[in-house]
Amino acid sequence: MFTFGVDSFIWTEKFSEKDLWIISKAREVGFEVVDIYISDLDTFPVRKVKDKAGEAGIEVVTTFGLPEDANTISPDPRVRRRGVPMLKKLVDINYALGSKIMAGIHYAAWGYRSGKPRTDQEWEWSVNALREVAEYAADKGDLILAEEAVNRFETHFLNVAEDAVRYCKDVGTGNVKVHLDTFHMIREEDSFAGALKTCGREYLGYVHVCESQRGIPGTGLVPWEEFFRTAKQIGYDGPMVIESFDPNFEEINRLCSIWRKYADSGEELAVKGLHNLREIASRI
């Protein structure tokens, strides 16, 4: 019924050439999609990733978070100007990979919080920047830019589906969609079903299926039956990807506050989570 995938964060914090084995491993343990977080645009092994994915028979999507020195909503115009060229380079990488989805936090720097509510000026800066990137992407093909609504501790800019949909509409290019993550949703949304219906088939572009405590999906508080039932009702047919992090990571753990181990390995977490989610989805 659903297409399940796994994030490269299950195995590594900073994907590089030494991590190419992850692609075939993801397929071997039962996933149909591998989501690779691109931490370094300049050194990412594009051709080798594409070749490995072709050999393994697995779909590749990417995620990315803008760094603070390229923050599109920074009060410093020199910083803001760095964001668009960086995101255009990311678009080029995705097209070279054959990826159909470029997800994550492109609207602002991941982890940046101003200390006050989002302003109209920040909204205008971000919308204008992403519109330029989205138009660039549209000229090259059919890539979806999926903007992730994340919790208040990681951004003050987009926390809920309603705001993310409005953002997509204001960008107005048709190829900007919403990236929902159940970990963030349980902290910010009033209703899982409501958030999915707010996006609908038109605006829901990508999904991360993460447990409430970032542990094994199916062992926490996320209402999975409600989530899957509503996703089916709105006609979502994109990937559902398990994402979690190892407490030995450094930069990611600072951003996401991961201090506990939830399984003996990331792979165990992903494989058990896949089993649980497939079993739950089969009942819908």
Annotated active-site residue 251? The verdict is no
Residue type present at position 11? W
Closest C-alpha to 13, from 201, 250, 275, 260: 250
Q: How far apart are CA 118 and CA 203, in angstroms?
A: 22
Q: How far apart are CA 133 and CA 73, in angstroms?
A: 15
Of 148, 154, 189, 211, which one is the catalytic site residue? 148
Q: How far apart are CA 117 and CA 129, in angstroms?
A: 20
Q: What are the Cα distances from residue 18, in Å, to 34, 45, 48, 55, 250? A: 16, 10, 11, 17, 18
Contact 205, 179 (CB under 8 A): yes
| Sign of the four-CA dihedral 266, 267, 271, 272 | negative
Strand duo 33-37 + 176-181: pairing:
unpaired
Q: How far apart are CA 201 and CA 203, in angstroms?
A: 6
Annotated active-site residue 243? The verdict is yes
Cα angle vertex 161, ends 160, 165, to 5°?
125
Residue with tokens 């508080």: 221
Length of the chain counted residue by residue = 284
Find residue 148's DSSP bridge partners: 179
Please report how the helices 46-56 and 77-97 are oriented relative to each other, as an axis angle in degrees rounded to 10. 40
Q: How far apart are CA 202 and CA 25, in angstroms?
A: 33
Tokens of 102: 């470029």
- Tell me the catalytic residues: 148, 243
